[in-house]
């Protein structure tokens, strides 16, 4: 049986993978700085809100497997830290295991 945090992490990973597929579909089509409506990668499995981000922003956030972008005020997992914020979204990072 999975723990609450494991289920929340699975939710975030599912949103991240959906966003990676979306980014792959729209990559190279249009302005590189155009905003794309990606799914919020918060811990709420029912969240269908979108984060407006460019390809470049997406690539920066997702270059690190422990970083996700979420909307301000959306739920975070225990131990996640906000490492950056913009007017449109927060970048959260999961704790690094040693």
For the chain, how far is it from start to end, CA to CA, in angstroms? 25
Q: For the whole model, what pTM was predicted?
A: 0.77
Instruction: Give 13-62 pLDDT, tens digit per residue.
Output: 877 877 788 777 666 566 667 898 999 999 888 899 999 999 889 889 99
Higher pLDDT, 89 or 12: 89
Look at residue 58 and tell me if it is in a domain. yes
Distance CA 10, CA 84 (A): 22
Task: State residue 30's pLDDT score.
Answer: 63
Q: Please state the separation of Cα 49 from the chain's center in Å.
A: 11
Instruction: Give 71-83 pLDDT, tens digit per residue.
Output: 999 988 888 999 9
Task: State residue 83's pLDDT score.
Answer: 96
Look at residue 23 and tell me if it is in a domain. yes
Q: The dihedral of CA 66, 71, 46, 18: what is its sign?
A: negative
- Lowest-confidence region among 4-8, 80-84, 90-94: 4-8
Task: Note down the domain range covering 62.
Answer: 4-93
Q: Please state the separation of Cα 95 from the chain's center in Å.
A: 15
DSSP sequence for 11-43 = HHHHHHHHHHHHHHHHTTSS-TTS-EEEEP-SS
> For the chain, what is the domain count?
1
Look at residue 98 and tell me if it is in a domain. no
């Amino acid at each position: 049986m999975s723990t609450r945090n494991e289920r929340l992490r699975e939710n975030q990973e599912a949103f991240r993978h959906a966003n990676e597929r979306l980014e792959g579909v729209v990559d190279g089509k249009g302005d590189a700085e155009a905003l794309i409506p990606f799914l919020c990668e918060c811990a709420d499995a029912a969240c269908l809100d979108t984060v407006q981000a460019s390809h470049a922003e997406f690539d920066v956030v997702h270059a690190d497997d422990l970083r996700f972008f979420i909307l301000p005020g959306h739920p975070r997992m225990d131990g996640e830290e906000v490492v950056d914020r913009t007017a449109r979204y927060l970048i959260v990072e999961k704790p690094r295991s040693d």
